[in-house]
């Protein structure tokens, strides 16, 4: 049985299991959470809630991953829950909700900024100086974006890039952080400055964990959307203009 057939078979089993639930068996959310944690003790549960499908529960685990379970957590479904009437993915909609935050909650004093044109539009980038996708974003997607203020949060992933913290400190300690960052990321100019000034890097690490940011680059837009990855310029423009 291939992966697609296995996925369909699991989904069918789950739906049959839910159909067998009695009308008076309204399961307590906390019971589902306890059952999930018993089944998967190494997975941290962020939230549990009901779905429009009776007997099916949404579980959000650490990392903002969404899975669906029955009341006893005998079955787990990973994939999109689709509203066939409205023809929309409830999973995609919920993921967008989870990946939002209040722009005003960002401690912008921990970032350095670059103002382009009138600077009216705003975005923030959590980024790593040794991340190849961050370099791709800087070289291919961001150069053509104007009338924007970009706030850069240095977020080195030391477990992946052992020298990234050192480089992040050099960038922060430089006289012109934005210019040093641009020269290094886009032009490949080596970093030669000191790394022993006071930096907010520990605070940014804590902030990233609090926001659920686990990879770089991670882009935050003024409307609260958080989007991972080196997305293309066209998508950046759409998100900058979104309400």
Provide the H-helix boundaries in 43-163.
90-98, 132-136
Q: Are residues 215 and 118 both part of a single domain? A: yes
Q: Are residues 123 and 184 both part of a single domain? A: yes
Domain end point (choices 78, 98, 118): 98
Res. 7: pLDDT tops 90: no
Tens-place pLDDT, residues 37-47 = 999 999 999 99
- From edge to edge, which strands make up the β-sheet containing 45-50? 45-50, 57-61, 65-69, 76-77
The CATH number that applies at residue 63 is 3.10.450.70
Report the C-alpha gap between 87 and 110 in whole angstroms. 42
Mean of the pLDDT values across residues 181-203? 95
Residue 223: count of CB within 10 angstroms of its CB: 13
Q: Label residue 11 by pLDDT band (50, 70, 90).
A: low
Tens-place pLDDT, residues 86-132 = 999 999 889 888 878 889 999 999 999 999 999 999 999 999 999 99
Question: pLDDT averaged over the chain?
Answer: 89
Q: How many domains in the chain?
A: 2
pLDDT of residue 21: 45
Res. 214: pLDDT tops 90: no
Mean of the pLDDT values across residues 188-207? 95
Domain span holding position 155: 103-241
The CATH number that applies at residue 130 is 3.40.30.10
Report the C-alpha gap between 157 and 128 in whole angstroms. 7
């Amino acid at each position: 049985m291939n992966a697609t057939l296995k996925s369909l078979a699991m989904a069918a089993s789950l739906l049959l299991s839910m159909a067998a639930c009695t009308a008076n068996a309204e399961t307590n959310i906390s019971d589902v959470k306890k059952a999930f944690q018993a089944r998967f003790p190494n997975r941290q549960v962020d939230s549990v809630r009901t779905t429009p499908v009776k007997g099916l529960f949404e579980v959000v685990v650490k990392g903002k991953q969404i899975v669906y379970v029955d009341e006893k957590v005998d079955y787990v479904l990973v994939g999109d829950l689709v509203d066939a009437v409205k023809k929309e993915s409830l999973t995609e909609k919920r993921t967008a909700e989870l990946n939002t935050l209040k722009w005003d909650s960002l401690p912008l004093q921990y970032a350095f900024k670059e103002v382009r044109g009138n600077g009216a539009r705003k975005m923030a980038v959590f980024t790593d100086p040794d991340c190849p996708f961050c370099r791709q974003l800087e070289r291919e997607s961001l150069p053509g974006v104007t009338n924007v203020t970009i706030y850069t949060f240095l977020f080195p992933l030391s477990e992946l890039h052992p020298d990234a913290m050192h480089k992040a400190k050099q960038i922060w300690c430089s006289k012109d952080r934005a210019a040093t960052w641009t020269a290094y990321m886009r032009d490949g100019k080596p970093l030669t400055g000191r790394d022993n000034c006071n930096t907010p890097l520990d605070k940014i690490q804590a902030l990233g964990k609090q926001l659920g940011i686990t990879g770089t680059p991670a882009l935050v837009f003024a409307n609260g959307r958080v989007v991972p990855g080196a997305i293309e310029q066209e998508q950046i423009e759409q998100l900058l203009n979104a309400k």
